[in-house]
Amino acid sequence: MAIRMFRRRRRLNRITPFQWVLTAMLTLLAAFMLLPMVYLFSHALKPYHELFLYPPTFLARQPTLDNFYDLLVVTKTAVVPVSRYLFNGVIVAFATIALGTLISALCAYALSKHEFRGKKWMFSVIIVSLMFAPETVQIPRYFVISKLGIINTYWAHILPVIALPVIVFLFKQFIDLLPDELLEAARMEGANEFTVFARIIVPLCMPAVATASILIFQSTWGNLETSTLYIEDETMKTLPFYVSSLTSGLANNVARQGVAAAAGLLMFVPSFVLFLVLQRKVISTMAHSGLK
C-alpha cells in the first residue's frame, strides 16, 4: 500500500515535457525583460570613455562609481544641492502615499458598502475621469492650486495626485468582494464606522493597499508636472525636475552624460525596490480581483 502511494505521488510530481518547454520559454522571456534594467545599472556604472564607444557595449568593462560622485560635485557649488531635491521627493512621495491611500480607501468604502443619494452618479464621474488625458486638466488644476494659495508649498506637490481615480476604482473592486455579513456582525458588536474601517476593511485590503502604494509612488516619484507648473522656489522642487534639467539640451552634447545616467538610475531604484518588497501583495490583489 505504501509503495503504491509513493508511486502515485511520484507520478503526480513528475514534470511533463510540455512543462519543461513552458518553463524554459518563460525563463527566456523573463531574462529578456530584465535586459533594460541590467543595461540601466550597467550604463550608470560605465566610466566616461565607455559611454561613447562605438559600437556601444551592453555591460560596463570597467565599472566605476565616478558618475555618482560627479552627480554630487555638480551641485556642490550650486545654490540648491541635489540632496535637497532628493529630500523633497522623499517627503512628497511618502506623504502622498499615506494620504492618497487613506482618502481613496475611505471613498471606495463609502461607494461600496453604503447607500446614499448620488452614489451611482459619483461613481460614474470617477469612471469617466479615467478617460481624461492629464494634459486636459493642467490649466483647471493650476487655477485651483493658485486659488488655494498653496503655490511653492509641499501641498502643491501632494494635492494634484492625492486621489487618483484608478486607485479609488481599485479599492472599490476589492472591497466589493468583502461579505456584508462580516461588517454587520461588527456593527452589532457595537463597532462604529471608523472602527469597522480601521480594523476590518484596512487589514483585509492590505494587498490593495500595497498595489495602491506602488502606483501612487510611481506617479509621484517621477512627476515633473508639479515642480514645473506650481513651484517657483528652487528649494521646493523635486528630483525629477533636477534630472530633467541635467538631460535637457544634451542630445548632441557629451557633457554630463555620466551624471545623467547616474541620476536616471537614482530615479529608477526606489520604484524597483518598493515593487520587490510589495510584489506578493500585488499578486494577491490581481488574484482576488477576478473573484466574485
246-255 pLDDT tens trace: 766 544 455 6
Question: pLDDT band for position 234 (50/70/90)?
Answer: confident
Ramachandran region, residue 158 (left: φ > 0; alpha: ψ -120 to 50; beta: rest)? alpha
pLDDT value of residue 59: 80
- Mean pLDDT over 268-273 rounds to 82
Does some domain include residue 16?
Answer: no
pLDDT in tens, 192-208: 888 888 888 888 888 88
pLDDT in tens, 65-123: 878 877 777 666 567 777 788 889 889 989 999 999 999 999 888 888 888 888 888 88
Does some domain include residue 35?
Answer: no
Question: pLDDT band for position 285 (50/70/90)?
Answer: low
In angstroms, the CA 46 to CA 284 distance is 38
Q: Cell for 170?
A: 481599485
- CA-based nearest residue to 110, from 192, 175, 53: 175
Which residue would you say has higher pLDDT here, 153 or 131? 153
pLDDT value of residue 165: 85
Is the CB of residue 284 less than 8 Å from the CB of residue 67? no
Question: pLDDT band for position 2 (50/70/90)?
Answer: low
In angstroms, the CA 61 to CA 154 distance is 42
Does some domain include residue 17?
Answer: no
Task: Count CB atoms within 10 A of the CB of residue 12.
Answer: 7
pLDDT value of residue 96: 92
134: buried, middle or exposed (CB in 10 Å: 19+, 13-18, 0-12)? exposed
Tell me the percentage of the chain whose pLDDT exceeds 70: 85
pLDDT value of residue 251: 45
Is the CB of residue 229 less than 8 Å from the CB of residue 152? no
In angstroms, the CA 287 to CA 290 distance is 6
Report for 143-152, 235-244, 259-268: range of highest mean pLDDT: 143-152
- Mean pLDDT over 16-43 rounds to 84
In angstroms, the CA 285 to CA 123 distance is 21
Name the residue range of residue 269's domain: 80-288
pLDDT value of residue 14: 66
C-alpha torsion 201→208→93→160, nearest 10 = -80
In the block, cell 515642480 appears at 227
Q: SS3 letters for the chain? A: CHHHHHHHHHHHHCCCHHHHHHHHHHHHHHHHHHHHHHHHHHHHCCCHHHHHCCCCCCCCCCCCCHHHHHHHHHCCCCCCCHHHHHHHHHHHHHHHHHHHHHHHHHHHHHHHHCCCCCHHHHHHHHHHHCCCCHHHHHHHHHHHHHHHCCCCCHHHHHHHHCCCHHHHHHHHHHHCCCCHHHHHHHHHCCCCHHHHHHHHHHHHCHHHHHHHHHHHHHHHHCCCHHHHHCCCCHHHCCHHHHHHHHHCCCCCCCCCHHHHHHHHHHHHHHHHHHHHHHHHHHHHHHHHCCCC
pLDDT value of residue 50: 77
Which residue would you say has higher pLDDT here, 50 or 238? 238
Does some domain include residue 123?
Answer: yes
Ramachandran region, residue 68 (left: φ > 0; alpha: ψ -120 to 50; beta: rest)? alpha
The tally of domains found in the chain comes to 1
Say which CATH number the domain at 111 has.
1.10.3720.10
Residue 210 has φ and ψ, to the nearest 5°, of -65, -45
Residue 237 has φ and ψ, to the nearest 5°, of -85, 160
0.75 cut: is pTM over it?
yes
Does some domain include residue 50?
Answer: no
pLDDT value of residue 35: 84
Does some domain include residue 25?
Answer: no
- CA-based nearest residue to 93, from 265, 263, 238: 238
Does some domain include residue 14?
Answer: no
pLDDT value of residue 39: 83
**pLDDT averaged over every residue in the chain:** 79
Does some domain include residue 148?
Answer: yes
